[in-house]
Amino acid sequence: MKNKKLSEYSIKGVSISPGLAMGRAYIYTDVLLRDHEFYTIKSSEKKEEFRRIEQALLDVTKDLALSAERIERELNSQIAGIFFSQAEILKDPELLKELKTELEVNLVNAEQIVKRVFRKWELRFRQIQNEIISCKADDIVDLSRRLIRALTGINVHTLERLPSGSIIIAKRLLPSDTVFLSRKSAKGIVTESGGPASHAALLTREIGIPAMGKVNGVLDLIHQGDFLLIDGAEGKLIVNPKEKTKKVFNSKLKSRSAEFRKNQKKSWGPAVCRNGTVVEVMANVSCRKDVEFSIENGADGIGLFRIENIYLSRKLPPSATELHDEIAKVIAPAQNKPVTVRLLDIGGDKKLTYLNSVGVDDSFLGRRGIRFLLEYPELLYTQFNALIRLSEKFNIKILVPMVTFWHEMKIVREIFEEIVQLTNCKRKILLGAMIETPAAALCVSDFLPYVDFFSIGTNDLTQYTMAAGRENHTVIDYFLDNHPAIFKLIDSTMKNAGQVPVSLCGELASEINMLNLIISIGIKSISVAPSFIPDIKEAIRSI
Ligand code: PEP
Ligand code: MG
């Protein structure tokens, strides 16, 4: 029995997604933690019991395909790719063999067999000291939940029936949970684990749900139906607030939304500092909804279009025509604005299932971004062809991710110019490099002959400078994108860039209290998540 506290108290965690919300706690427990039937079977019943497992595997595979389709259609998010790779795990012959052997040796029901075998697989993955491989353990847990649901007939995912206005309290949310979230039903999210750069965190920020993490023992601290106030930006939760606290919070919430609406109205105009400096505020996007939201919020253009979703949500890489059509669909609402499309930044936490077998080390410190594209230049040709065609209708700029050496940009430039000539393109399309590695930041002047612009990606620049993985919540205190070391690298980039324009597109650009410093270094173009644009523009006007 939990020790129920009725008086008001507050809990501190870390911010995952900003915003204020109030609502009732909805405790979301894992289906795997609930009790399931446990019985022995006769040897003659083995076949029938294994047939149940096979049927569950089939049902889950079908369900994964449906989830991927739904995500692809509604969000076109990288999450769709995760479901495809989960389905691949279920086809592993080793897994089937182990399920069969466990059943034959132990003669217990299918639910117990699935739980045991998947638990073993999870532990195996967790023991591997590689962040990427150990992430597979989460996929395994996710799959076993789905299989248990299929076996026990619990088909309705509880988050689908979420009472509206709920604040979800969970140990951890996985991609299969977040599919069911919408801003209408979920007012906020509080979890025990999962860092701000995890997949679930990205999704909550994308759909604009306030969220906080790193709340130890969250399921013991909070009870079903508790009234909660969440401040996502502060990573603060107030449980069972007094009437007076509620009133104060409510008026903060109201004035916050009124301020946002006011800023949104003014957001159409440019962001001009008091000394007359104009700062371009662009949007980081990855799907059509992001582009629509950016335009609604007065974005001056698209500063970073992450195209990975288009690749991750497919079974095979797109052709140049398919890529052209997909990008055109996504950026259509920004037709009259500049659009910077970043070349495929695969690797790290974004893996292409169809390239799994090629054995390339594409970890965060491996062949990511341009390293990967230079290894598979066909991917580069397809993208350049598609983007050159797109430039007939759109104001396209091309950005190259994860650059380390100047000679990488030299090769990219040569390939690009060759395709420009082959396609007989007469338009000037700007080609830029992302500054995301300390090596590139410190040797900016070497790149000058090959680039038309630079864009500083502080998310990766931070993980490589501070030696702290962006997905790893245990080193969250080291992942400081406003550390003086990062500002020294930004400053050095600015000083050595000469006449080449420099913009900033990492999350640092959306930290309002850092804007003054960013602008004083000389940055005149930033790119942020769509929902931040109105407030950022307004903040710039008072600098
Ligand atoms: C960055 O690294 O700062 C960046 C903008 O790119 P991404 O977050 O997509 O790696
Ligand atoms: Mg990056």
- Choose among 380, 298, 377, 318: nearest CA to 344: 380
78/494 Cα distance (integer angstroms)? 32
| pLDDT tens profile 76-129 | 456 577 778 888 899 999 999 999 999 999 999 999 999 999 999 988 888 876
Q: Which ligand is nearest to the CA of 529?
A: 1
CATH number of 9-31+158-249: 3.50.30.10
Is residue 530 helix, strand or coil?
Answer: helix
Q: What is the predicted pLDDT for the residue at 353?
A: 59
Nearest atom (ligand 1) to Cα of 506: 3
Interval between CA 278 and ligand 1 midpoint (Å): 24
Distance 460 CA to ligand 2 centre (A): 5
Which ligand places an atom closest to the C-alpha of 286?
1
**355 C-alpha vs ligand 2 centroid, how far in Å?**
20
Structural Rg of the chain based on CA atoms: 25
Strands 430-435 and 271-272, by their bridges, are: unpaired
Q: Which ligand is nearest to the CA of 370?
A: 2
Give me the residue spans of the domains in the chain: 9-31+158-249, 43-152, 271-541
Hey, whose CA ends up nearest to atom 9 of ligand 1?
306
Ligand 1 atom closest to the Cα of residue 505 is 5
Compute the distance from residue 208 Cα to the ligand 2 centre, in Å: 21
Tell which CATH architecture fits domain 43-152: Orthogonal Bundle (1.10)
What whole-number distance in Å separates Cα of residue 388 and Cα of residue 397?
10
Handedness of CA 311, 313, 314, 315 (dihedral sign): positive
Atom of ligand 1 lying closest to residue 457 CA:
3
- Residue nearest to ligand 1 atom 4, measured at CA: 457
Per-residue pLDDT of the chain (543 residues; tens, 9 = 90+): 444 557 899 999 988 889 999 999 998 876 656 556 678 888 999 999 999 999 999 999 998 888 777 666 554 456 577 778 888 899 999 999 999 999 999 999 999 999 999 999 988 888 876 666 666 787 888 899 889 888 877 655 667 678 888 999 988 776 556 656 666 678 999 998 766 766 567 667 767 789 998 898 888 899 989 999 999 999 999 999 999 999 999 999 999 999 999 999 999 999 999 999 999 999 998 888 889 989 999 999 999 999 987 887 666 778 899 999 999 999 999 999 999 999 999 887 666 755 654 556 778 898 899 999 998 888 899 999 999 999 999 999 999 999 999 999 999 999 999 999 999 999 999 999 999 999 999 999 999 999 999 999 999 999 999 999 887 778 888 999 999 999 999 999 999 999 999 999 998 998 999 999 999 999 999 999 888 999 999 999 999
161 vs 177: CA distance, rounded Å: 12
Q: Whose CA is nearest to atom 1 of ligand 1?
A: 457
Nearest ligand to the C-alpha of residue 481? Answer: 1
**Ligand 1 nearest-atom number relative to CA 458:** 3
**Secondary structure class of 9 (helix, strand, coil):** strand
Quote the CA–CA distance of 501 and 453 in Å, as a whole number.
Answer: 5
Who contacts 280 (Cβ-Cβ below 8 Å, separation ≥6)?
270, 271, 300, 301, 303, 503, 524, 525, 526
Q: Which atom of ligand 1 is nearest to the CA of 455?
A: 5
Give the three-state DSSP class for 208. Answer: coil
Looking from the CA of residue 456, the nearest atom of ligand 1 is 3
Ligand 1 centre to CA of 306 (Å) is 9
**Whole-number Å distance between alpha carbons of 190 and 76:** 25
pTM: 0.70
Task: Please choose from 460, 461, 502 the residue to mutate so as to test ligand 1's pocket, defined by most ligand atoms within 8 A of CB.
Answer: 460
Q: What is the pLDDT of residue 76?
A: 45
**Where does ligand 1 bind, in terms of residues with CB under 6 Å?**
304, 306, 345, 436, 457-460, 505-506
Is CATH 3.20.20.60 the classification given to domain 271-541? yes
Burial 303-326 (b: 16+ CB within 10 A, else e): bbbbbbbbbbbbeebbebeebbeb
Residue from 284, 466, 505, 508 to probe ligand 1 pocket by mutation (most atoms less than 8 Å from CB) = 505
Selection from 471, 470, 451 nearest residue 462 by Cα:
470
